[in-house]
Amino acid sequence: QTLPYSAWGQAFTQLLNTWLTQSETTIAGWRDTILDAVGDHGQVLIDVIPALEHILGPQPDVPQIGGVENQNRINHFFNRFIACLATPEHPLVVFLDDLQWIDPASLNLIEALFAGQNASRLLFVGAYRSNEVEATHPLAISQDRMLADSDRVTVLTLEDLSPDDTNHLLADSLRLGVADCRDLGRVLVEKSAGNPFFFRQLLFALEADGLLEFHHAQRRWMWDDALAQNVQARGSVVDLMIEKIRALSANTQRALSMAACIGSRFDLTTLHTIVEHPWSKILTALNLALQDGLILRSDGHLSFAHDRIQEAGYALIPASDRPRIHLEIGRSLLARAKDEELERDVFTIVGHLNVGRALVEDDSERIRLAGLNLAAGQHAKRVSAYADAKNYVEIGLELLGTDPWQDQYDLTLSLHTENAELAYLTGQFDEVTTTATVIHANAQRILDRVGTYMTQIEAATAQSRFGEGLDLGLTALRNLGVDIPAQPTPEEGLRLHERFVGLLTSKPMDRLDRLPRMSDERAMAASALLASVMSTAYIANPPLFPIISYQGAILTFEFGVDIWSPFFVGGIVLVNVASITPDTPADDGRGLIHFGRQLVEVIRAL
C-alpha cells in the first residue's frame, strides 16, 4: 500500500530469481534483449523493479524531467520491457492479488499496460476483495476507465459460496456423499457466510477441537451434529486465525506477531532484533508455525501463507505497543543498511520509522528521519508516485524543529521546495501558493528560490493562467540579472538576432560540438527559467517568444550547453521559418535555408 510499485516489484522479482538460476549465457541474452529495447534508460526500469539490477547491472542515471513527462517515460519503457517478455511465441501471464491494497503507482502502470501495444500478448489477472472496494476507491475508478477504453477487459464477480456449493465442497473434502454432509454443511455455511477461506479454516478448527475425527475402523470422517452445531461462531476470518495462533506456544505467538509487524515477508535477522529471544527459541517457534502451514519459506526469507494470517498476528499486538515495535524494526534495518541498500529499501525503512516517529525524542534522530523522508519523497517522485512522495515530504516537515530555517536551512529549504512541487503534481494548487510564500520569505539566495518559481509557473500554466505564469518567470529572471521587457520592441528582437548570428558565425561549425557543459549556477537557473516560460510566452505574449529563444541560445554560447539548449535553438528555427513569405526574395530564402542548416548542426552538436 505504501511502497510505490511494490506490486510489480514483487511479481517480477519472482521471475527474475528464476533467471538468476540459469546460465550466464542465458542471463546475458536477457540483458542484451532488454537493453536493446530501452537503451540508456535501464535505470527507469530498475527504479520500478529494483531486482532487475541483478540482470542489467548498474545503469546510467536518467535526466530529470517534468512530472507528466516522467510518468510517460516510465509507462513507455515499462511497455518496452513487457514487449521483451510477452511475445507471440511466449505470451506472458501476470497475476496480482489483493488489488484493494494496490499503491497508486502500480495501479497507474496497469492502465498503461492496457493502453500499450502488448495487450494481445499479455494476460493480466487481478484479484481483490469487492467488499473493500467502493465506487470511490482508486481501483474502482481505474477499472471503470479501462472498461470504457478497451473491449478486452473482463470483470468476473466471484460470489460467496451458496449452501449447495458449500455442501459439495465439504463432501469432496471428506470424500463422502452430499446427503451425508448436509447438516454439517448447513452449520459451516451459517458460520462462514460463504467465505471459502473462512469455511476452510472452520473445518480445520472443528478437527482441532475434536469435533471432526477420522475413524479408522469405519474408514471415514465422523462428527456429532449436535456438537458441531454448538461450535463457537467466530466474528471474522481474522478472529478465527487469532484463535489458531493463540493455541500455539507463547514463543510462537510472539514470533508471529513480531513478524507480522515486519511485513508479509520477513527475515530472521530483523526478527531476532525485536523478539530478543535466543536463536534457538526463535527457530523452534518458527518451525512450529511452518509445520502448521502459517508461514512459508522461500528465497531465503519467510512469508505468511495468507494475508489474513498476518492480519491476525498483527492484531495480537496491543495498538499502544505497535509504534514502539515499528520504530525498533526501522532502527534495526537502518543500522544494517549500506548506502546502496538504504537507497533500495528506503521506503520500507522509513515506513517503519514513521509509524513510531512520535516516540523519537532525540533531536538529531528526528532531523535524520526528516532527511530520510526527504530521500524517500525524492525517490517516490522520481518514479512518479507523487501522492506517496508528498506524504513523505509532509512527515519530513513535521519532524523539523521549532526554528528550522535557522537551524536546518538546507534540509528545510529542500523539504519546502519538494512540497511545493508535489502540491502542483497532485493538483493542490492553493498549497503551491502557500508553500511558495513561505519559501520566498525565508530563502537566503535567489538561486534557492528558482525551483519554486518554476513550480509556480507550471502550476499557473496548468490552470491556463498563462499571463500570471509569464509574469512570475520574468520577475524571477530579473532577480537573476536577465532583464526581458514585457513588451519588447522590434528593435530588441533584431538586436538579439544579430547578436546570436554573430556568436554563431564566430564558432567554426566543426567546433560547435566542443562547447563546454554549462556550470555557472546563475546561468543554469536562467536557462531553466527561460525554458519554463517559452510555451507560456508563445500563448500569452507571442512577441516574447523569439526574445526568449534568442536569449536562451545566447546563454548557451556564452556559458555552455545544458539540457534546455535544444529548446532555444528549436525556437529560433521556428521563428525564422515562420518569417518566410511568398514575397521573400530568393536570396533571403536561400540564406534562411543555410541558416536553418547551421542551426540543425548546432542541435546535433548539443
Residue ending a domain, among 149, 179, 206, is 149
Q: Are 263 and 275 in contact (CB under 8 A)?
A: no
Looking at the domain assignment, is residue 191 inside a domain?
Answer: yes
* pLDDT band for position 565 (cuts 50, 70, 90): confident
Q: How far apart are the first and last CA of the chain?
A: 42
* pLDDT band for position 473 (cuts 50, 70, 90): very high
**pLDDT tens, position by position, 242-260:** 888 888 888 899 999 999 9
Say if residue 13 is in the same domain as residue 100.
yes
Q: Are 2 and 388 in contact (CB under 8 A)?
A: yes
Looking at the domain assignment, is residue 281 inside a domain?
Answer: yes
Residue ending a domain, among 84, 116, 149, is 149
Say if residue 226 is in the same domain as residue 247.
no
d(CA 229, CA 202): 12
DSSP per position, 460-499: HHHTT-HHHHHHHHHHHHHHTT----SS--HHHHHHHHHH
Strands, E, within 269-373: which ranges?
A: 295-298, 301-304
Can you read off the three cell numbers belonging to residue 549? 529563444
Q: What share of the chain is helix, strand, coil (3-state, %, to 5)?
A: 70, 5, 25
Q: Are 556 and 515 in contact (CB under 8 A)?
A: yes
Q: What is the pLDDT of residue 592?
A: 44
Task: Report the number of distinct structural domains present in the chain.
Answer: 5
Residue 393 identity: V
Mean pLDDT of the chain: 85
Looking at the domain assignment, is residue 331 inside a domain?
Answer: no
The residue that leads in pLDDT, 243 or 229, is 243
Say if residue 143 is in the same domain as residue 172.
no
Q: Are 381 and 424 in contact (CB under 8 A)?
A: no
Please tell me which of 148-152, 153-157, 220-224, 538-542 the model is most confident about, judged by mean pLDDT.
538-542
**pLDDT tens, position by position, 85-125:** 888 888 889 898 888 888 888 888 888 888 776 667 888 89
Q: What angle do CA 558, 559, 560 make, to 5 degrees?
A: 105
The pairing of beta strand 212-215 with beta strand 92-96: unpaired
d(CA 500, CA 495): 9
Diameter over CA atoms, the chain:
110
The residue that leads in pLDDT, 294 or 395, is 395
Can you read off the three cell numbers belonging to residue 84? 521483451
Q: Are 294 and 256 in contact (CB under 8 A)?
A: yes
d(CA 474, CA 455): 14
Looking at the domain assignment, is residue 341 inside a domain?
Answer: no
Say if residue 566 is in the same domain as residue 521.
yes
d(CA 606, CA 604): 5
Over residues 505-515, mean pLDDT = 61
d(CA 290, CA 280): 15
Say if residue 440 is in the same domain as residue 497.
no
Q: What is the pLDDT of residue 510?
A: 47
Please tell me which of 86-100, 181-195, 232-246, 373-387 the model is most confident about, judged by mean pLDDT.
373-387
Say if residue 22 is in the same domain as residue 77.
yes
Q: What percent of the chain has pLDDT over 70?
A: 90
Q: What is the pLDDT of residue 604?
A: 56
* pLDDT band for position 596 (cuts 50, 70, 90): very low
Min mean pLDDT across 164-173, 267-276, 359-368, 536-545 is at 267-276
What sign results for the dihedral spanned by CA atoms 559, 561, 562, 563?
A: positive
Looking at the domain assignment, is residue 211 inside a domain?
Answer: yes
d(CA 166, CA 185): 6
Q: What is the pLDDT of residue 206?
A: 81
599 pLDDT more than 80: no
CA-based nearest residue to 138, from 106, 112, 170, 175: 106
Question: What DSSP designation does 385 have?
Answer: -
Say if residue 129 is in the same domain as residue 10.
yes
* pLDDT band for position 581 (cuts 50, 70, 90): low
d(CA 257, CA 286): 11
Say if residue 214 is in the same domain as residue 311.
no
Say if residue 131 is in the same domain as residue 38.
yes
19 pLDDT more than 70: yes
Looking at the domain assignment, is residue 56 inside a domain?
Answer: yes
Say if residue 553 is in the same domain as residue 582.
yes
Host domain of residue 225 = 163-233
584 pLDDT more than 80: no
d(CA 505, CA 502): 5
The residue that leads in pLDDT, 445 or 225, is 445
**pLDDT tens, position by position, 418-454:** 999 999 999 999 999 999 999 999 999 999 999 999 9
Min mean pLDDT across 23-27, 60-64, 350-354, 407-411 is at 60-64
Say if residue 132 is in the same domain as residue 175.
no
DSSP per position, 214-252: EETTTTEEEE-HHHHHTSPPPSSHHHHHHHHHHTS-HHH
Over residues 42-47, mean pLDDT = 91
Q: How far, CA to CA in Å, does 316 sit from each of 198, 205, 232, 239, 255?
A: 19, 19, 20, 10, 11
* pLDDT band for position 166 (cuts 50, 70, 90): confident
Q: What is the pLDDT of residue 589?
A: 45
What sign results for the dihedral spanned by CA atoms 284, 289, 290, 296?
A: negative
Question: What DSSP designation does 305 have?
Answer: S
CB atoms within 10 A of CB 66: 14
Looking at the domain assignment, is residue 128 inside a domain?
Answer: yes
Q: What is the pLDDT of residue 117?
A: 67
Q: What is the pLDDT of residue 443?
A: 96
Q: How far, CA to CA in Å, does 321 sit from each of 258, 287, 316, 317?
A: 11, 26, 10, 7
Nearby residues of 22 by Cβ (< 8 Å), 6 or more positions away: none
d(CA 79, CA 474): 39
Looking at the domain assignment, is residue 548 inside a domain?
Answer: yes
Say if residue 435 is in the same domain as residue 517.
no
373 pLDDT more than 60: yes
Min mean pLDDT across 8-12, 172-176, 322-326, 356-360 is at 8-12
d(CA 540, CA 375): 37
Over residues 287-315, mean pLDDT = 85
Cell 530469481: give the residue.
Answer: 17
The model's pTM: 0.78
Determine the 3-state secondary structure of 122 from DSSP. strand
Over residues 143-158, mean pLDDT = 83
Cell 514470533: give the residue.
Answer: 255
Residue ending a domain, among 444, 466, 481, is 444
Q: What is the pLDDT of residue 580?
A: 61
Environment class of 566 (CB within 10 Å of its CB; exposed 0-12, middle 13-18, buried 19+): middle
Q: How far, CA to CA in Å, does 434 sit from each of 398, 417, 421, 429, 516?
A: 16, 12, 12, 9, 39
549 pLDDT more than 70: yes
Cell 520566498: give the residue.
Answer: 440
588 pLDDT more than 50: no
Q: What is the pLDDT of residue 223?
A: 83
* pLDDT band for position 515 (cuts 50, 70, 90): confident
